[in-house]
Amino acid sequence: MESILTTEEESLLVDAIREQELRTSAEIRVCLTYKFIWRAERYAWEVFDRTGMRNTRQRNGALIVMMPRMKKVVIIGDSGFDAVVPEGYWKEAVEAMIQQMHDATPLEALREGLKRLGDKLSIHWPREEGDVNELPDEILK
């Protein structure tokens, strides 16, 4: 199946991930899947676990999963988020991304989600001197 992002847009998306990670010690990943997923949140947790996102030093990894064929987005975070993310935060971020998918492009929707995550993560986990990128930034598929 053809990707919804061009090679250039994928490169811009990786740049957007890196830009937000420069603001925080947290790790952010993006997954684009074109499969039909009936249990989207369960699938997101499977990707989270399979890619080692639970292994970050501060348990502060976040994952955005976009399923364009299903017009669905899931955002999840590791256990460190439970203490700092207010109720409804993930739902609001997802709704904003879906609105961007309708009003603009999938790339802009993902940028919106990344910016929202970066804003929240930089408050609770500001970037520290000597911070190491614990996880790759490339797009998961």
Residue 38 lies in a domain: yes
Residue 82 belongs to a domain with what CATH number?
3.10.310.50
Residue 132 lies inside a defined structural domain of this protein: no
Reply yes or no on whether the pLDDT at 68 is more than 70: yes
Name the residue with higher pLDDT: 118 or 82.
118
**31 vs 96 pLDDT, higher one:** 31
- The band of 85, judged by pLDDT with boundaries at 50, 70 and 90, is confident
State the chain's mean pLDDT as an integer.
91
pLDDT of the residue at 2: 64
Strands 72-77 and 61-67: antiparallel
Lowest mean pLDDT among 46-50, 54-58, 102-106: 102-106
Is residue 14, in this structure, part of any structural domain at all?
A: no
Q: 84 in the Ramachandran plot: left (φ > 0), alpha (ψ -120 to 50) or beta?
A: alpha
Within 10 Å of residue 33's Cβ, how many Cβ atoms?
Answer: 20
Query: Has residue 47 been placed in a domain?
Result: yes
Is residue 96 in some structural domain? yes
Give me the number of domains the chain comprises.
1
More confident residue, 16 or 104: 16
**Position 53 in a domain:** yes
Which residue range is the domain that position 66 belongs to? 25-124
Whether 12 and 22 have beta carbons less than 8 Å apart is answered as no
Residue 89 is predicted with a pLDDT of 85
Task: Determine the Cα angle at 131 with ends 130 and 136, to 5°.
Answer: 135
Is pTM beyond 0.85? Reply is yes
Is residue 17 one of the residues assigned to a domain?
Answer: no
The answer to whether residue 106 is domain-embedded is yes
1 pLDDT more than 60? no
Q: Residue 62: name the closest of 15, 109, 117, 103 by CA.
A: 117
| DSSP per-residue string spanning 17-85 | HHHHHTTBSSEEEEEE--S--SSHHHHHHHHHHHTTGGG-TTS-EEEEEEEGGGTEEEEEE-GGGTTTS
User: Which residue has tokens 């949140």?
Assistant: 41
109-123, pLDDT tens digit by residue?
A: 999 999 999 998 999
pLDDT tens by residue, 23-54: 999 999 999 998 899 999 999 999 999 999 99
